[in-house]
Chains A and B, each alone.
Chain A
Amino acid sequence: MVSVIRNGRIVDPANSRDELADLFFDQGQILNSKAAADLPIDRTIDASGLIVCPGLIDLNAKIGELNSKGHLTIYSEHRAALNGGITTVCIQPNTVPVIDEPAMAHMIRESVKQQESIRVVPLGALTMGLQGETLTNMASLKYAGCVGVSNARVPIHSTLLMRRAMQYAATFDLTVFIHSQDPWLTGNGCVHEGEMSTRLGLSAIPEAAETVAVARDLALVSTTGVRAHFNQLSCARSVDMIAESKARGLNISADVAIHNLHLTEFDIQGFNTLCHVLPPLRQESDMIGLREGVKNGTIQVICSDHQPCGRDDKLAPFIQTVPGISGLETLLPLTLKLVDDAGLSLEQAIACLTCNPAKTLGLTLGTLSEGAPADICIFDPNESWEFDPDEMLSNGKNNPFGGMQMRGKVAHTIIGGVVATDLI
């Protein structure tokens, strides 16, 4: 059952490859093109004028709820992911119940296996119930399939416990994923502390809520030697601190949510609850600093931070609304927009969505190398359309980019050699 994608422009940043060529795969794996050229072809996908890249890997998305039996019910969000060219999603441990026992990680992997589905890789909790009091059995979580540990968005108050969590994770070669956030400075804030919070009279989260915590966590990473990944930076100053620490040799990486690269505090004008996100949208200088961070490689990964919300979740006074954007289906076009707007190269843009997150998660995905799993995204870089959130397949239509001209429509998403977009 050899399949071939013909005449596409293959962009595979892991191999610094960007050329017009045919791509063959069979039994879920990418084949050597020379060897495959003579094989009988069962299926041909025409990719003339299209870009063929590895299936996208989303480092942070909420894609489902666990039902009472602990099964992840990801049906609608799985279709949304496929529609966005995403083949792998990493989920944080703040599911219900929390992924703090190996059995939970098992259950998630099993329930995903039973569905025609995208790949789901879980992070294990750093502390039991994310309470910040007791360490989880991290080594067992790793054995059960967790690719790293994280306390999701729940700050760990105790510096001592954070240090021990890092030491213990380092013992078992686990990457610690950190949302750096000072709980006291964050308080009940819902927007960036600045001109807009003052104009609208909304409780605010100062820049220092992030930078103070990044500084603390960097100091602890430095003394424990753990491999650490900083999730969803929102401040330019944080990018500078990460860059300085990397230059000193720390083993760290970072990501940013795509909306923080396109929106600022001023987008909450008129109490626009669709722009209520955490961490909050900050100043234009922060947005520029984050874009620079992506360009110079301080930030390696761009994620969707997908948080689907119901209509009512966003229909209340601003502070009472549920934060988040339904972002799976705009991750690719908004990242490609950075090629036009921010001077990012196409190769870098694709790398931030494929091989870089794969590396962060320690996965052998995100590449079109011979022998790699045939996870492929084929998209049209030229077709332009006016984005309408109501046309998204996600359950959540909460996306503030409605009306924007987008480019980068996904034509096919292939997972393990199965043309999954046929299943949508």
Chain B
Amino acid sequence: MSDDIQIGTDGRLNHFISLEELPRELIEELLTTADSFIDFATRDTKKVPLLRGKTVVNLFFEPSTRTRTTFEIAAKRLSADVITMQSDGMSTTKGETILDTVSTLQAMHTDTFVVRHSFSGTADLIARHVPQHVHIINAGDGRYSHPTQALLDMLTIRQRKPNFNNLTVVIVGDVLHSRVARSEISALKKLGAGEIRIVSPRTLIPTGLEALGVRIFTDLDEGLKDADVIVMLRLQLERMEGQLIPSEREYYRYYGLTEERLKNAKPDVMVMHPGPINRGLEIASSVADGSHSVILSQVSNGVAVRMAVMSKIMGGFRQSG
């Protein structure tokens, strides 16, 4: 976006739609804030009154488990009032447009909408049509962007490997349908990752991906060589139109992450997956549950990152250190 809508004229973060146009310092600040929220989860009293009196509406036009619940938990820990709406219960199924749904709910003095939708650009569209005091957080739109997921992945990496410049990060799988991959590439670029690799059969690599500054591999062993971080993507079978892979069996044989293949990477490699996992399709159970896997830390970091984003957008909260 040339006319970036995310940052207001006063320099404040108004919406959180995509990482592409956000400055590196802001991304780092959000990560640091998230870090400070991590301890909260282990306390007896898990709430802070940062967003007391604020109303957050989770608008999920597409099914989700972890993103929806972590947003809900994050908002509650910040003492905001939360309402979650799933698409099957909403009027859009009766023909009301998305913008109508949003303006109806906004008339009830909502402060923030957390939006997930199956069409690319939906969060952007809504952000351009709400009044200035209403904020939009993108919880994933089509194939475009899933910025909180990318941010929590960066947090997970940073906790273990703080120096991004030396890192080789390998993203494996269905990039074509993946908003996570797109946001992850943006985030890694911003944070100065040493090398970003994509490994996938050519049918799942979108045209022009090189322009985003990644190296493309079609051979998994080659792509995994000396990797520091591996991000496995879910094979989005439900989004595939026409045949993109001949069979799941062959896909697993050539692109599934097994313990054997993991040996190509560095000994301290970390394995990530945005979930939900297709065991035995893109990743072996032994790897998903193994010592290199950080998949469950990703989930708990999800709450902290979403708290950081919400407090940055809605709260008067400022990180002091």
Contact = CB atoms under 8 A, between A and B. Distances in A.
Interface in B59-87: none
Contacts of B143: 201-202
Interface string B239-270: 00110000000000000000000000000000
A316 B97 contact: yes
Given A193-B207, A206-B207, A269-B2, A199 B212 contact: yes
Nearest to B179: A201
Interface stretch (A172-180, A209-217, A317-325): A317-325
**Chain B interface mostly:** loop
Given A202-B143, A317-B117, A270 B211 contact: no
Contacts of A271: 120-121, 124-125
A187 B87 CA distance: 26
16 contacts: A187-B241, A188-B241, A193-B206, A198-B212, A199-B182, A202-B142, A202-B144, A271-B125, A315-B129, A316-B99, A317-B98, A317-B117, A317-B125, A318-B119, A318-B120, A319-B142
Interface of A: 187-188, 193-202, 204, 206, 269-271, 312, 315-320
Contacts of B121: 200, 202, 271, 317-318
Nearest to B119: A317
Closest 6 interchain pairs by CB?
A201-B143, A317-B119, A271-B121, A201-B144, A195-B208, A198-B206
Contacts of A187: 241-242
Given A195-B212, A198-B211, A271-B120, 8 more contacts: A193-B208, A197-B208, A201-B179, A270-B1, A270-B3, A317-B121, A317-B125, A319-B120
B149 interface: no
B121 to A, nearest CB: 4
Nearest to B211: A195
A38 to B, nearest CB: 62
B55 interface: no
B145 interface: yes
Contact of A200 (B97, B99, B129, B144): B144
A194 B208 contact: yes
Contacts, number: 80
B241 A200 contact: no
Nearest to A194: B208
Contact of B207 (A198, A200, A312): A198
A312 B97 contact: yes
B124 A270 contact: yes
Interface size class of B (residues with CB under 8 A): 20 to 34
A201 B123 CA distance: 13
A200 B207 CA distance: 12
Contacts of A269: 1-2
A318 B122 CA distance: 8
Contact of A194 (B97, B119, B179, B207): B207
B209 interface: yes
Contact of B209 (A198, A200, A317): A198
A269 B5 CA distance: 13
B98 to A, nearest CB: 7
A102 B142 CA distance: 46
Nearest to A271: B121
A202 B124 contact: no
A317 B122 contact: yes
A274 to B, nearest CB: 13
Given A271-B125, A315-B99, A316-B97, A200 B120 contact: yes
A271 B17 CA distance: 12
Contacts of B179: 201
A310 to B, nearest CB: 13
Counting chain B CB atoms within 10 Å of each CB, the highest count among A193, A197, A200 belongs to A200
Contacts of B1: 269-270
Nearest to B61: A317
A211 to B, nearest CB: 15
B142 A201 contact: yes
A206 B208 CA distance: 11
B5 to A, nearest CB: 8
Interface in B20-42: 20
A318 B212 CA distance: 21
Contacts of B208: 193-198
A57 B97 CA distance: 38
A131 to B, nearest CB: 23
B177 to A, nearest CB: 9
Contacts of A199: 20, 182, 211-212
A204 B205 CA distance: 13
Contacts of A204: 206-207
A320 B207 contact: no
Contacts of B2: 269-270
Counting chain B CB atoms within 10 Å of each CB, the highest count among A188, A196, A202 belongs to A202
Contacts of A317: 98, 117, 119-122, 125, 141-142
A93 to B, nearest CB: 29
A315 B241 CA distance: 26
A270 B241 CA distance: 26
Contacts of B142: 201-202, 317, 319
